[in-house]
Amino acid sequence: MSSGRKKNKELASENFPEEKRRRHQGTSDTGEASTSKKQPKPKRTEKHLKELIERKSVAEIVKVFRDQINRRMKNDKMADMEAVILVVKMMMAKNASHYLPEVLGALKQVNTQWPVRSDIDALKQKLQEIESSYKNKVLTMMGRSRDYLI
Residue pLDDT, tens place only, 38-97: 666 656 555 666 777 778 787 888 888 888 888 888 888 888 788 888 888 888 888 887
Looking at the fold, whether 97 and 115 belong to one and the same domain comes out as yes
Looking at the fold, whether 113 and 97 belong to one and the same domain comes out as yes
Residue % of the chain over a pLDDT of 70: 51
Looking at the fold, whether 131 and 74 belong to one and the same domain comes out as yes
Looking at the fold, whether 78 and 15 belong to one and the same domain comes out as no
**Cα–Cα distance for residue pair 79/19, rounded to 1 Å:** 40
Query: Which pLDDT score, from 0 to 100, does residue 73 have?
Result: 84
Range of the domain at 124: 46-147
Query: Which pLDDT score, from 0 to 100, does residue 118 have?
Result: 74
Tell me how many domains the chain contains. 2
pTM, 2 dp? 0.45
Looking at the fold, whether 9 and 54 belong to one and the same domain comes out as no
Alpha-carbon distances of 143 from 64, 79, 133, 137, 139, rounded to whole Å:
18, 37, 10, 11, 6
Tell me what the pLDDT averaged over the chain comes to.
69
Looking at the fold, whether 54 and 109 belong to one and the same domain comes out as yes
